[in-house]
Each structure stands twice: as structure tokens, then as C-alpha cells.
């Protein structure tokens, strides 16, 4: 069987970009608040539906849809943190209680979305031009996705290293008490991170929705590889997440080639992320964090 490796490489960049945008918020909030927010999947879904609402139902176009989805999902995430997780943490809830709370929140959001829209798959109608560069088939959507991921990486890098809020985020993540003692308003830092993280998840949701379909499980469908990215990259480690997103993107796309060669169903591509997750836990639970000490 002839494998088009250039295409595999390009697809890996597309997959990795999606996972990166989806995982940044999860890894940052996980590092700051100290628990994995399983409702992050629903922030992705909510973003996809907000995007659909603005772009298709109101007909206002995709750029505005991205902005509205970012803001609305960010605000919902902020309110959820203020209303549920912050009170829980203040009452001394254990990490297990926080995780259960996030799963409960996920159910509320998912089924609210299902009731407000529909459980049937929805599609963006915008058609994306596809063209060939050499042997590689490229669609405009995928180029935008890769462009967004690169832009996000660069912007987030400057935010984390140069700006006051970025430094405050890193300080609060590595040592909350010391950050508090240094005059950083740690609560506000956490709110801002929850807002931005969910906003980025919303953008990932729109891209995923435009690439495949939108339904209330859109986020849940890709939460497993996103968790693999977070764990492999090292919890709370932004640069680790960038590396991990592309490693998992590459592994998935090479894995699909392998699955086809073995005659297995390609739905197992999600199993590859699971395998990486388990191997990381066995071999190096800190993930790639040791390679990127600074953030």
C-alpha cells in the first residue's frame, strides 16, 4: 500500500493544532486550580454551538462567531468557577469532590445544550475551497486552523513571559502562597485564566464543528486526546502542551495508517491517545515538563 507521507504530516499538523487550542485552557486551569475540569469538554461544545448560532442561525459570518463564542464561553466558564468551584475549594473540598463537581457541571451544560438546540448533528454550511499543493490535499479551513494555533502559541508566549498578568499566572501556578504574599491577587488570576482557557476551547469547538459536525458530544468526542496532551505535556505546562499536541497529532495520524494496514477500524485512533496517556503515567508522570522548566 502506498502511503502519502506528506499528507500524513500535514494532517498531523491539523490534528495537533486543534488539540493545542483545545488543551491550553485545560492545562492552565488544571495547574492553577489543582484539579482537572472535565466540563472543559462542554466548553468546547458550547463554543461550537455559539459559533453555529451566530454564523448560521443569525447569519453574521464566521469571524464574528469566533468572537462571540470566545466571549460567551469565557463568561460561562468564569461564572461556573465563581459559582461552583471557588465555593467548593473555599469549603475545603477534596480534589475528588472538585472532579465530581466538574463532571456534574458537564452534564448540566451538555444536556442544556441538547435541550436548547438539538441532539441531531448540525453542520456549518460554509464551503471551504480545497486545493492541492504537490501531493498534499489542503482545505482553507485547515490552513486557518494551523494559522490560529501558531498565532495562539506566539501570543500566549508573549503574554506569559512579558506581561504582568502572564507573570502572575506563572507565579500563582508554581507557588500560590508566595504569589499571594507578593501582592498578586491569585483569585483574579484564576478567574482570568478560566475565562481565557474556556474562550480558546470555544474556538477549538468551532474549528472541530466546521471540520466534522456539531452535536452535544462534540467536546466529549475529543476530550480524551486533549487530556493526553495535558498529561504528556505536564500539567499546567504551556510549552509542554505545544510539544505534546503535535506529538499526539503525529502519533494519531501515523497510527491511522497503521490501523488501515492492519485492517482495523479507524475509530481506534482515539485509542492511540489513550495508549500515550497510560505510557506517560507509567514512564514519566510529569510528562515533558522537565524539558520546559520555565513555565
Partner 1 sequence: MDPLLYVLDLVVFIGIFGIVALSLNLEFGFAGLANFGKVAFFLIGGYTYALLSQVGVPFYLCLIAGALVSAIFGLLISLPALRLRADYLAIAVLAFGEILRLIVKSEDWIAGGDWGVSVSPAISLMGASHRVDALVNIGLVYFCLFICFLVVQLLANSPYGRAMRAIREDEVAAEALGKDRARYKAQALMLGSAMAGVAGGLYVQYLHCVLPGMFMPMITFTVWIMVLLGGPANNWGVLLGAGLVELFDRGANIAKDYLVLPIDPSSLQYILFGALIIFVLLYRPQGLLKESPIKTKALEAARYGRSAVKSDRS
Q: Which residues bind partner 1 (CB under 8 A)?
A: 35-36, 38, 84, 87-88, 91, 93-97, 99-101, 103-108, 110-112, 114-115, 224, 227, 231, 265, 267-268, 270-271, 274, 277-278, 281-282, 285
Q: Name which of 245, 269, 243, 249 is nearest 257 in CA terms.
A: 269
Find out whether 249 and 14 touch, Cβ atoms under 8 Å.
yes
CB closer to partner 1 out of 49 and 124? 49
Instruction: Please tell me the distance from the alpha carbon of residue 286 to that of residue 280, in angstroms, as a whole number.
Output: 8
CB closer to partner 1 out of 258 and 271? 271
What sections of 81-217 are H helices per DSSP?
86-90, 95-116, 140-162, 164-174, 176-181, 186-211
CB closer to partner 1 out of 65 and 235? 235
CB closer to partner 1 out of 104 and 290? 104
List Cβ neighbours of 15 (8 Å cut-off, separation of 6 or more).
248, 249, 252, 253
Closest distance between partner 1 and the C-beta of residue 138, in Å? 29
Instruction: Please tell me the distance from the alpha carbon of residue 201 to that of residue 267, in angstroms, as a whole number.
Output: 23
CB closer to partner 1 out of 137 and 269? 269
Backbone phi, then psi, for 291, in 5-degree steps? -80, -25
List Cβ neighbours of 181 (8 Å cut-off, separation of 6 or more).
none
Amino acid at each position: 500500500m502506498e502511503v502519502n507521507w506528506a499528507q500524513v504530516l500535514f494532517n498531523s499538523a491539523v490534528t495537533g493544532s486543534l488539540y493545542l487550542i483545545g488543551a491550553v485552557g485545560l492545562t492552565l486551569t488544571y495547574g492553577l486550580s489543582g484539579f482537572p475540569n472535565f466540563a472543559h469538554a462542554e466548553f468546547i461544545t458550547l463554543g461550537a454551538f455559539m459559533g453555529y448560532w451566530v454564523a448560521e442561525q443569525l447569519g453574521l459570518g464566521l469571524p464574528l462567531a469566533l468572537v462571540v463564542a470566545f466571549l460567551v464561553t469565557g463568561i460561562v466558564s468564569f461564572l461556573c468557577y465563581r459559582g461552583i468551584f471557588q465555593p467548593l475549594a473555599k469549603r475545603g473540598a477534596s480534589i475528588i469532590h472538585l472532579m465530581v463537581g466538574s463532571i456534574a457541571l458537564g452534564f448540566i451544560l451538555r444536556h442544556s445544550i441538547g435541550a436548547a438546540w438539538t441532539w441531531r448533528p448540525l453542520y456549518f454550511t460554509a464551503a471551504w475551497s480545497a486545493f492541492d499543493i504537490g501531493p498534499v490535499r489542503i482545505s482553507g479551513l485547515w490552513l486557518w486552523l494551523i494559522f490560529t494555533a501558531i498565532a495562539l502559541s506566539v501570543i500566549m508566549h508573549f503574554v506569559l513571559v512579558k506581561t504582568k498578568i502572564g507573570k502572575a499566572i506563572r507565579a500563582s501556578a508554581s507557588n500560590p502562597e508566595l504569589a499571594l504574599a507578593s501582592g498578586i491577587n491569585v483569585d483574579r488570576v484564576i478567574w482570568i485564566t478560566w475565562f481565557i482557557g474556556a474562550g480558546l476551547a470555544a474556538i477549538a469547538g468551532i474549528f472541530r464543528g466546521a471540520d466534522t459536525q456539531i452535536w452535544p458530544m462534540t467536546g466529549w468526542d475529543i476530550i480524551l486526546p486533549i487530556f493526553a496532551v495535558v498529561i504528556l505535556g505536564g500539567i499546567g505546562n504551556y510549552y509542554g502542551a505545544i510539544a505534546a499536541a503535535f506529538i499526539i497529532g503525529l502519533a494519531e495520524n501515523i497510527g491511522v495508517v497503521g490501523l488501515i494496514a492492519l485492517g482495523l477500524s479507524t475509530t481506534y485512533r482515539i485509542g492511540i491517545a489513550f495508549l500515550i496517556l497510560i505510557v506517560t503515567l507509567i514512564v514519566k508522570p510529569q510528562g515533558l515538563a522537565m524539558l520546559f522548566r520555565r513555565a
